[in-house]
Chains A and B, each alone.
Chain A
Amino acid sequence: MATEFHNLQELRHSASLATKVFIQRDYRDSTICKFQTKFPAELDSRIERSLFEETLKTLNCYYAEAEKIGGQSYLEGCLACATAYIIFLCMETRYEKILKKISMYIQEQNEKIYAPRGLLLTDPIERGMRVIEISIFEDSGSTSSSSSGSSPSSSTAQ
């Protein structure tokens, strides 16, 4: 019986990776980190345009803030210089902090918006900040576990 219950739990719809969409970098403003906000056609039936664009815009803002040359980055450089860069061993840079924020944001977006729609955003840092990879999953239908004991339970579940 325990086996059956276990199998019943496995008798659920499973998602399989269907395709991937790549959002390329927008190089119009030189090499600053910015991604194209053009809505890919493959996502047309999967997610609302507004949600996608919101995500992209927020990411672009994060990256723009990370790469901003200002007082904070200058001080950081001077401090690093003064300490013979030993400071890098103790403290994380501003860019790294923002990258962590971005990572958390992407995680949150995935959990709240994209995963319920069968999509998955990949942090662009894993791809060298060249693309944002969006994995599109399809519902591959209910699966039954492979064990033989599952067949009676699978029929009841279905």
Chain B
Amino acid sequence: MPNSVGKRFKPTKYIPVSTAATLLVGSTTLFFVFTCPWLTKAISPAVPLYNGIVFLFVLANFSMATFMDPGVFPRADEDEDKDDDFRAPLYKNVEIKGIQVRMKWCATCHFYRPPRCSHCSVCDNCVEEFDHHCPWVNNCIGRRNYRYFFLFLLSLSVHMMGVFSFGLLFILHHLERLSALHTTVTLVVMCVTGLFFIPVMGLTGFHMVLVARGRTTNEQVTGKFRGGVNPFTRGCCGNVKHVLCSPLAPRYISDPKKKLPITLKPPFLRPDLSNRHVSVKVSDNGIHSSILRSKSKTSLDGVDDKSIDTQPPLPPKADRYNQLKSQLTSSEGKGHDYRSEPNLDMPDYRSTPLHRTYQSSPFQLDSFSTTSRSFSLKQGVNGADQMPLGGSKPETVTSTPHKGVFSPGTLSGRNGSLSYDSLLTPSVTLSVGECAAHPGVPSMGFHSPYLPTKMCHVRGPELQRHIGPPSYSPVHVGAMYGRQSPLSRDRDPSPVRYDNLSKTIMASIQERKELEEREKLMHRHAQAYANDSGVFDTCSGAAYGLPPGPRGPGSREPTPPVCGSRDNLMGVGVVGYAPRTPVLRSSASSLSRAPRTSTTSLHTDAGGVSRTAERQYRSPVRQTHHSPTAVPRSPTYTHQKVAFISALERADSPHLGTRYDT
């Protein structure tokens, strides 16, 4: 017999089953041949019939017990036991009807054995509801074939009893002819039957008790429930019913059926994740504003540091931004075009209210500055009316995105112009949908009048995070300018790329560039601000070096060329407070509508100044007079930061032009 590699052929294991089979069939056959004819004649033909049926029953159950799968568990796949193999405990507890039962890890089959399951070493399989391995049938007795085994035992006992009884009857009637063939054979059959009668009956009785108790041989022999309660019992009747009447359990090890293939086609559906974004947004709001607020008041010396310090908070925000971004990207199938737009766009907008960005500036704007903002904004807007020169374009640019970005209410602000208040509180009015609704019209378009494009470049990652809001605020422009100088050395490549910008942005950038060039030339000759603001004196040399010139009798020492915008900024801011020059008056008049309630608060002033600076920045676009340059500084304007920043701005002004080139 060939020996296979996997399993060795062991003839010895077939000896018991062969013996049992031989004995059973042989004995019964002999009985039928030698004993039954006389019994048929002497007693009744029913005797062989009865014996025949019983023998048939025995055979059937014997066959089922021998050949039926007892409930073998297939080996577990590798994937299933990946976590279990190395670190898994040997036992796992599971509660069954309130009783803790241990499930042992089977190293061969790679799973935790279900309750009542045991591994048969002869078969090398885990068997469900393992009873024992029966050598007489050469098979494990388990869940599936226990009934047949039990019935086999019962029927074999009955059959043996029958054979023995009828044989005895025959012998008793043929005592005088004991050496005759028939009698001898019957005698041998009776001996065999008698010999195996005790073990078989004993086993039958044993299993009858087990069935009544609802235990397996394994459990009984190992003494699992010796002192305790058997969680698997269903009561005597229930247990009997379970053994005899339960449906035939399924085979686990079966031929692989041909299943219909299922195609998996990405992209896959995902459950709605919208709620997560909301939560991210909320946390982002709360945390960030507090961080930025703390940076509000700084000394002049510290401004530089602060402007740098404002960066550390940014990374967390950037992370949130990125997180939000990634979440949005993954969950929203909307157009993400706006992401390719320069930073100033919607995602930021969504995540940060305008407030925050304002606060991030060293100018420390707060609510008071609102009025001045709107003040300056209005000026700009009005100026646009007056000065269609180039103004119309940015205006159109601004207005269009406004619709998308701001609710119509904001557009029809206090005086029909953009209200900064609404800009400052966009979180209610703005929505993701709105933002995303205008991917093609980036907020950059709106920002352009206020924000020099180079700022985008300069601030780079900063800008990316703060962009939406800052661009709306001239203050922020100032801030950006302010920050620019310390950053000028280490400018990160801006995420804003000119190639990303839309045409409108490009146009406004171009305009701005031209304006700045022009202003530079003009302001070079302008006098410095005539101010009593010692602030400027205290500033670094480059502080308010507003170039003298049309700005009026600024007694300032000549300063490095200042970006016209700065002058404008100063000028307008001062105008807001104390128009001192005719030049200013003109601009002041244009600002008349704006409440001059810009208080004496330093912050306000700063805000006003910075805002007006932006306005000023724009104003040359719209107004023929670049006059505000000569605006004397308000005495109340002592905010050092502003001054310093202005100075910085000026210092940077030469760079502005170059920036564009890059």
Query: What's the nearest-Cβ distance from chain A to residue B356, in Å?
Result: 30
Question: Among the listed B64, B74, B79, B96, which residue makes an inter-chain contact with A28, where contact means beta carbons less than 8 Å apart?
Answer: B96
Report whether A95 and B247 are in contact in the complex, using a CB–CB cutoff of 8 Å: yes
Q: Which residues of A contact B111 (CB under 8 A)?
A: 130
Instruction: Of the listed stretches B263-271, B388-396, B637-645, name the one at the interface; the rest are far from the partner chain.
Output: B263-271
Question: Among the listed A66, A77, A117, which residue makes an inter-chain contact with B268, where contact means beta carbons less than 8 Å apart?
Answer: A117
Q: A45-B270, A45-B271, A127-B76 are in contact. Are A28 and B95 (CB under 8 A)?
A: yes
Q: A96 interface residue, CB < 8 Å from B?
A: yes
Q: A139 interface residue, CB < 8 Å from B?
A: yes
Report whether B56 and A66 are in contact in the complex, using a CB–CB cutoff of 8 Å: no
Query: What's the nearest-Cβ distance from chain A to residue B260, in Å?
Result: 6
Question: Closest A-chain residue to B232, C-beta based?
Answer: A30
Q: A27 interface residue, CB < 8 Å from B?
A: yes
Report whether A107 and B64 are in contact in the complex, using a CB–CB cutoff of 8 Å: no
Instruction: Of the listed stretches B238-246, B347-355, B556-564, B594-602, name the one at the interface; the rest are far from the partner chain.
Output: B238-246
- Tell me, in angstroms, the Cα distance from A77 to B77 when the chains sit together: 34
Question: Closest A-chain residue to B116, C-beta based?
Answer: A31
Report whether B264 and A137 are in contact in the complex, using a CB–CB cutoff of 8 Å: yes
CB proximity to A under 8 Å, residues B54-100: 56-57, 59-60, 63-64, 73-74, 76-77, 79-80, 94-97
- Tell me, in angstroms, the Cα distance from A12 to B264 when the chains sit together: 11
| Size band of the interface chain B makes with A | 35 or more
Report whether A95 and B248 are in contact in the complex, using a CB–CB cutoff of 8 Å: yes
Question: Among the listed B74, B80, B114, B266, which residue makes an inter-chain contact with A25, where contact means beta carbons less than 8 Å apart?
Answer: B114
Question: Among the listed A77, A94, A129, A139, which residue makes an inter-chain contact with B245, where contact means beta carbons less than 8 Å apart?
Answer: A77
Q: A28-B95, A130-B73 are in contact. Are A125 and B266 (CB under 8 A)?
A: no
Report whether B247 and A76 are in contact in the complex, using a CB–CB cutoff of 8 Å: yes
Q: A27-B94, A84-B57 are in contact. Are A13 and B265 (CB under 8 A)?
A: yes
Q: Which residues of B contact A80 (CB under 8 A)?
A: 248
Report whether B270 and A14 are in contact in the complex, using a CB–CB cutoff of 8 Å: no
Q: B205 interface residue, CB < 8 Å from A?
A: no
CB proximity to B under 8 Å, residues A102-122: 103, 107, 110-111, 115-118, 120
Report whether A84 and B56 are in contact in the complex, using a CB–CB cutoff of 8 Å: yes
Report whether A84 and B60 are in contact in the complex, using a CB–CB cutoff of 8 Å: yes
CB proximity to B under 8 Å, residues A25-42: 25, 27-31
Residue of B111, B254, B271 contacting most chain A CB atoms (<10 Å):
B271
CB proximity to A under 8 Å, residues B111-167: 111, 114-116, 128-129, 147-148, 151
Report whether A96 and B250 are in contact in the complex, using a CB–CB cutoff of 8 Å: yes
Q: A95-B250, A110-B262, A120-B264 are in contact. Are A22 and B80 (CB under 8 A)?
A: yes
Q: B259 interface residue, CB < 8 Å from A?
A: yes
Report whether B268 and A118 are in contact in the complex, using a CB–CB cutoff of 8 Å: yes
List 14 contacting pairs A-B, 8 Å CB cutoff, sorted by A. A27-B96, A29-B97, A31-B116, A66-B247, A69-B242, A74-B245, A88-B248, A95-B248, A95-B250, A107-B260, A117-B270, A118-B268, A128-B74, A133-B77
Known: A22-B80, A29-B96, A69-B246. 19 other contacts (CB 8 A): A13-B266, A14-B266, A15-B264, A25-B114, A46-B270, A68-B247, A69-B242, A76-B247, A77-B244, A77-B245, A80-B248, A85-B60, A85-B148, A103-B259, A115-B264, A116-B269, A127-B74, A130-B114, A131-B80
Chain B interfacial positions (CB closer than 8 Å to A): 56-57, 59-60, 63-64, 73-74, 76-77, 79-80, 94-97, 101, 111, 114-116, 128-129, 147-148, 151, 231-232, 241-242, 244-250, 252, 254, 259-260, 262-271, 273
